[in-house]
Amino acid sequence: MGTGLPPSLRVDDSAIYIMQKDIYVLDSKNGSLQYQHHRSGTSHFSLLHGIMYVNTTDIHTSLVQAIDSHDGTLLWSYHAKGRLSQCPVIIDNVVYVSIVEGSIYALQANNGVLLWYSSIDPGPDIPTYLGPIVTTAPLVIDKIVYLAPGVNHPLEPFLYAFGSKDGRLLQKIPLPDTSAFSFTIHNGILYFSNAHSCSAVRLENGAVLWRWEPEETGQVCSAPIIHNNRVYLAGAELRMASSGEVTYWWQAFLCALHVSDGALLWQQSLEDAPSESRPTELCIINEILYVSTNQGLFSAYQPDDGSPLWYYQTKGHFQSSPVGMHEVVYIGDDSGSVYALRASDKELLWEAAIPLSLTTSADISVKNIQENF
């Protein structure tokens, strides 16, 4: 059963990188430990060209760091003001990081030198609990850095666009709702979701092109994913049954909308998910749609029509965002387990147990290794 947070995973051609307080690097073919790097605080990281870019926040400091992924050598470190939000984003040799309190840093990727810093000004005499509250990484597209902080009433939500070269505020686009989910931009259209709906907004003028809402008792549980002119979402609907006693439960579902008008193309219930399940992660890897639930079920679906391919029950409750490489999908859960599954049929290739607290590398265990993997 899950007792902590699920680990964050990244993968390259030869190794899988796991952030679970410490950094663990495992051989992607058999799960054996290559090295462990001790850390403190809460961390989120990205991997690019053999370098891990890490956001770490603890009670005293917030650090953006670059670490050699092969041996754990610290390449540079930058002290940020405020709480770091989610993972660094690396584009054109620049590291962009967002701050929960509503600001962005741009750092040189090779040495951590500050290029620029920009902050969102909510206005005079605005208490901090109203916002802005940034819970997502910045989105960088076509030399523009986008940020959509959450706000509380009476503040109005906006999408902020900054120039990637100097951090100058270029545009402030009104949004119909506030959201804690990450957002995406496709062909000049912003797609974002919150618990009540998914919307498409034109960037040039903030016009709402369409808005999709689940049934009255439904909730959206994921950020939108754009793939092949479709918008994919995961959600849950509150169901009721009466057989002498009225009972309620949540039924998880997936759906696909048309990218141009939000028309529902298909909706698929996760019938194999345990009662009270809600989706927690949604992604597409190598033309397979993956979804996780808060009851430990990890499932694969055809993105064209939502038909199920397979499901796998993990040991924990909450799972990490999956990553994939060479027809293998990797997933971690809050029990400390990391699984390597063959994408075509969910066969377990190996499973590694990552400690949930600071430990020595000798505590790593691996089982179910396939010799011909």
Q: How many CB atoms lie within 10 A of CB 368?
A: 13
Residue 368: pLDDT over 90: no
| pLDDT at residue 238 in the model | 84
Tokens of 248: 């309620």
Domains of the chain: 46-353 (2.130.10.10)
Residue 244: pLDDT above 70?
no
Tell me which DSSP letter residue 244 carries. S
Collapsed DSSP state (helix, strand, coil) of residue 128? helix
**At 193, which amino acid appears?**
S
Query: From CA 105, how far away is CA 121, in angstroms rounded?
Result: 15
Q: Which pLDDT score, from 0 to 100, does residue 275 have?
A: 60
Residue tagged 């050699």 (tokens) = 68
Mean pLDDT of 59-63: 89
Which residue is listed with tokens 């969910």? 346
Strands 348-353 vs 337-342: parallel, antiparallel or unpaired:
antiparallel
Q: Residue 370 pLDDT more than 70?
A: no
Tens digits of residue pLDDT in 296-314: 899 999 999 999 999 999 9
Highest mean pLDDT among 101-115, 249-263, 343-357: 101-115
The rounded percent of the chain whose pLDDT value lies above 90 is: 64
* Amino acid of residue 318: F
pLDDT at 272: 64
Structure tokens at 213: 């809402």
233/268 Cα distance (integer angstroms): 11
Confidence class for position 360, pLDDT limits 50, 70, 90: very low
What is the pTM (predicted TM-score) of this model?
0.89
Kindly list the distances between the CA atom of residue 11 and the CA atoms of 29, 132, 340, in Å, as whole numbers in the listed order. Answer: 11, 33, 11
* Cβ neighbours, 10 Å, residue 327: 9
Share of the chain above pLDDT 70, in %: 90
- pLDDT tens digits, 125-154: 788 778 789 999 999 999 999 999 998 888
Q: What is the mean pLDDT of residues 245-254?
A: 77
